[in-house]
């Protein structure tokens, strides 16, 4: 019983991370209508820039660790959001309007550029952050078996849930959210009503990248590093986990992604670990096939 409770506790941060990533991805997908693995690349890129510039601040600028971490976070946010704006304006927006299927190929190229940029900037060396807020908080103690989470796990979970709630409030209760829903429903009708669909596209793309950036910083601060090849894995995983709850509603996407995080943790606890990713991706593909809707062409 105690082991099960610990695994459920372990699933909470993973579920929160997947939910926040799926929520942010759905915002961009709503205006793009095409699969975009650049989102996962931006998530990984933010973490890599955090590690790199925290190291620069600590070893070359001789800052104390909190100041170096703050410096790394500011630079990572600036680089990632600037990159997302450039990619959205110069690549994704023109392609999605003229040749939508080429978005997938362009996203792969952008992901490779971001991966290689981070690798070359780090001289192909792994950089690790020191443990942060690593003290354990005990939730339950049964004959010496403690159910615990660390402070940073709880903090990250709370911040990711706050991102989802704040994003849901903006989408449901503000004028920009109503305009976003109008553009996602019918671009031409929204433009006929005076809305700039291109502006909404860019704002949605950067807002989505902001969520990916926050998640990248939080995940990297917990795990301590971000692998150079993580962009492809997270790009594919986010692309598919968002589909569990459906792309039409970011909150539903977040809920489906949270369920996947729980399932993944439970499989890692009770099933063969080497088969975890294979089983999870197989389930996701099956769900995508079963939920696919064919458009009837008159």
State how far the Cα of 50 lies from the Cα of 82, in Å rounded to an integer. Answer: 15
pLDDT of residue 134 exceeding 90: no
Instruction: Identify the burial level of 287 via C-beta atoms within 10 angstroms of its C-beta, where 0-12 means exposed, 13-18 middle and 19 or more buried.
Output: middle
The confidence score (pLDDT) of residue 71 equals 96
CB–CB of 282/260 below 8 Å?
A: no
Indicate whether 14 pLDDT > 60: yes
Helix/strand/coil (H/E/C) assignment for every residue in the chain:
CHHHHHHHHHHHHHHHHHHHHHHHHHHHHHHHCCCCCHHHHHHHHHHHHHHHHHHHHHHCCCCCHHHHHHHHHHHHHHHHHHHHHHHHHHHHHHHHHHCCCHHHHHHHHHHHHHHHHHHHHCCCCCCCCCCCCCCEEEEEEECCEEEEEEHHHHHHHHHHHHHHHHHHHHHHHCHHHHHHHHHHHCHHHHHHCCCCHHHHHHHHHHHHHHHHHHHHHHHHHHHCCCCCCHHHHHHHHHHHHCCCCCCCCHHHHHHHHHHHHHHHHHHHHHCCHHHHHHHHHHHHHHHHHHHCCCCCCC
pLDDT greater than 80 at residue 254: yes
Q: Is the predicted pLDDT of residue 245 greater than 70, yes or no?
A: no
Among residues 293, 235, 265, 282, the alpha carbon closest in space to that of 24 is found at 235
Mean pLDDT of 48-64: 93
- Per-residue pLDDT of 155-180, as tens digits, reads 999 999 999 999 999 999 999 999 99
pLDDT category of residue 240 using cuts at 50, 70 and 90: confident
Instruction: Please name which of 297, 287, 178, 190 lies closest in space to residue 241, comparing C-alpha atoms.
Output: 287
Kindly report the CA angle at 55 between 52 and 208, in degrees rounded to 5? 35
How far, in Å, CA of 107 to CA of 39, rounded? 9
- Give me 189's structure tokens: 């009708």
Task: Name the percent of the chain lying above pLDDT 70.
Answer: 94
Q: Domains of the chain: which residue ranges? A: 2-291
Tell whether the torsion through CA atoms of 25, 27, 32 and 33 is positive or negative.
positive
Average pLDDT along the chain:
87
Radius of gyration (Cα) for the chain, nearest Å? 20
CATH number of 2-291: 1.10.3470
Using the predicted structure, report yes or no on whether residue 268 has a pLDDT greater than 90.
no
Q: Is the pLDDT of residue 111 over 70?
A: yes
Whether the per-residue pLDDT at 187 is higher than 50: the answer is yes
């Amino acid at each position: 019983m105690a082991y099960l409770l610990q695994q459920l506790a372990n699933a909470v941060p993973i579920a929160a991370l997947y939910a926040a990533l799926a929520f942010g991805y759905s915002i961009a997908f709503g205006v793009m209508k095409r699969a975009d693995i650049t989102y996962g690349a931006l998530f990984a890129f933010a973490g890599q820039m955090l590690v790199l510039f925290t190291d620069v601040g600590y070893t070359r600028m001789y800052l104390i660790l909190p100041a170096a971490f703050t410096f790394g976070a500011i630079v990572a946010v600036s680089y990632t959001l600037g990159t997302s704006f450039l990619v959205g304006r110069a690549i994704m927006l023109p392609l999605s309007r003229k040749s939508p299927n080429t978005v997938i190929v362009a996203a792969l190229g952008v992901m490779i550029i971001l991966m290689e940029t981070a690798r070359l900037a780090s001289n192909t060396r792994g950089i690790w952050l020191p443990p942060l807020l690593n003290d354990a908080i005990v939730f339950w103690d049964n004959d010496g078996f403690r159910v615990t989470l660390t402070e940073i796990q709880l903090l990250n979970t709370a911040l990711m849930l706050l991102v989802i709630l704040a994003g849901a409030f903006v989408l449901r209760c503000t004028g920009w959210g109503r305009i976003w829903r109008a553009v996602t429903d019918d671009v031409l009708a929204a433009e006929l009503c005076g809305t700039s669909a291109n502006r909404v596209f860019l704002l949605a793309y950067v807002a989505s990248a902001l969520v990916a950036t926050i998640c990248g910083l939080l995940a990297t601060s917990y795990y301590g590093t971000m692998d150079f090849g993580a962009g492809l894995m997270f790009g594919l995983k986010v692309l598919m986990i968002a589909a569990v709850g459906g792309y039409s509603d970011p909150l539903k996407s977040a809920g489906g992604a949270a369920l996947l995080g729980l399932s993944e943790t439970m499989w890692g606890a009770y099933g063969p670990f080497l088969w975890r990713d294979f089983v999870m991706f197989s389930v996701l593909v099956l769900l995508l096939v079963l939920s696919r809707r064919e458009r009837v062409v008159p």
